[in-house]
A = this chain, B = another copy of it.
Amino acid sequence: MKLSNGVEWALHCCVSLSQGHEAVPAARLAELHGVPAAYLAKHLQALARGGVVTSSPGQVGGYTLARAPGEITVLEVVTAVDGDEPTFRCREIRQNGPLAAPLEQCSRWCAIARVMADAETAWRSSLAAISIADLAEAIDDDSHGTAMRDVRGWLMSR
């Protein structure tokens, strides 16, 4: 079970976007994070589709957070980029083979699927408890208060 690395890029981009009020083009975000611009654009489009960021075309266009940083959870970003399909897809193999379970016993999910779904819920809850604002604060603390200030300055310049 591997998570697309686009998730990491998207989270960093959201944190950066939370530091400026102007729209930031995809190319500029790519430069800031040192990642391929064309590919990052793809993930930003996914964020836009997911309602995490809003895009504006034109000469001074770019991406902006759709809501306040404290109102956007990490889970939303992950879901927007990675898709909202469940990680475990039950193929109902209990209905296969010589001992196939009768259909009337399959009204509930398979016990295995329930366990996996519970685990996924725990994972999602953990991600939903953290907001972009929390991330920005944590990163700022790690850098003793310089990282976010530098990002703000860099976004302002040019």
Q: How far is the CA of A9 from the CA of B44 in the complex (A)?
A: 36
> What count of chain A residues pass the 8 Å CB interface test?
60
Q: Which residues of B contact A125 (CB under 8 A)?
A: 122
Write the nearest CB–CB distance from A13 to chain B, whole angstroms.
Answer: 10
A143 interfacial contact with B, CB 8 Å: yes
Q: How far is the CA of A97 from the CA of B143 in the complex (A)?
A: 16
> Are B82 and A7 interface neighbours, CB within 8 A?
no
> Are B1 and A91 interface neighbours, CB within 8 A?
no
- Interface stretch of the complex, out of A47-55, A59-67, A105-113: A105-113
A39 interfacial contact with B, CB 8 Å: no
> Are A135 and B150 interface neighbours, CB within 8 A?
no
Q: How far is the CA of A108 from the CA of B138 in the complex (A)?
A: 12
Task: Give chain A interface residues in 3-59, CB to chain B under 8 Å.
Answer: 3-5, 7-9, 11-12, 15, 31-35
> Are A138 and B114 interface neighbours, CB within 8 A?
yes
Q: List 16 A-B contacts (CB under 8 A).
A: A1-B2, A1-B4, A2-B87, A5-B89, A5-B91, A12-B94, A32-B97, A33-B97, A101-B147, A108-B142, A111-B135, A115-B127, A115-B138, A116-B127, A119-B126, A123-B123
Given contacts A1-B2, A111-B135, A120-B123, 15 further A-B contacts (CB under 8 A): A1-B1, A1-B3, A1-B82, A2-B87, A3-B88, A3-B116, A5-B89, A8-B90, A8-B91, A31-B98, A32-B98, A34-B97, A98-B154, A111-B139, A115-B127
